[in-house]
Structure 1
Amino acid sequence: MITKGEVIPLLTDASPSFQYDEEVNTTTIEGLQQELKRFASHLISLEFNNQLAHESEIFETIERLYTEGEAEVKESITIGLFETMYEMLSEQHITSEEIGRLLKPHSFKWWKTIEQFNRLS
């Protein structure tokens, strides 16, 4: 199982242009979600600049986090990464479909859950 402390190093390996804050303790849910929010901003910036589609390893890694991660990892990806990304879409004129088409099956399911939740609220 992938643990909380392994998430940010895996994502950084998949996207070396992301500079994580080494002072944040990502072995806690709060610290991990803080860094995942920063990573969400990084991904939205890549998409805004039409570079995200070229970063396929990111989506393989996110899928791995959903299929191999412990429960707190999956929850953190959904809340810290996906919810934050979804909140940023409209201000950057990016559609949820643009992100959704890049995701793998398990992560896409959770992306759609975030999308449906936000449509209802």
Structure 2
Amino acid sequence: MIEHTLDTAHSILYVRPTSSLEKDDFRQLAETADPFIEETGALEGLIISSPTFPGWKSIGAMVTHFRFVRDHHKFIRKVALVTDSAFGDLGEHLASHFLSADIKHFPVNDLEAAEKWVAGKD
């Protein structure tokens, strides 16, 4: 499950996985992000904040996640991975080869630094 909020004033989508990711999570993210992207052209940033990576509930959820990334990465300028999971470093290095967004890993207790980086105030 993913909790999320869209800060329209700063054009940042906050994502907080709370348990294994499900297919419906990505439908809900798209329902929030897509109208804003259509109106403004892009998101300044996506901040994913979770102490650990919770994994996927099913293979279908993993495929849906990858499709969401494929369909949205061109419309997100920066992605901050705020986590203490080793997945944060791995995600930063691997994803930078496949995504158009700038990606940076931050420790879980450094959300403020992630927000500043996404906003260009670092």
TM-score scaled by structure 2? 0.39
Greater share of strand residues, 1 or 2? 2
Whichever structure has more helix as a proportion of its residues is 1
Alignment TM-score, normalising by the size of structure 1 = 0.39
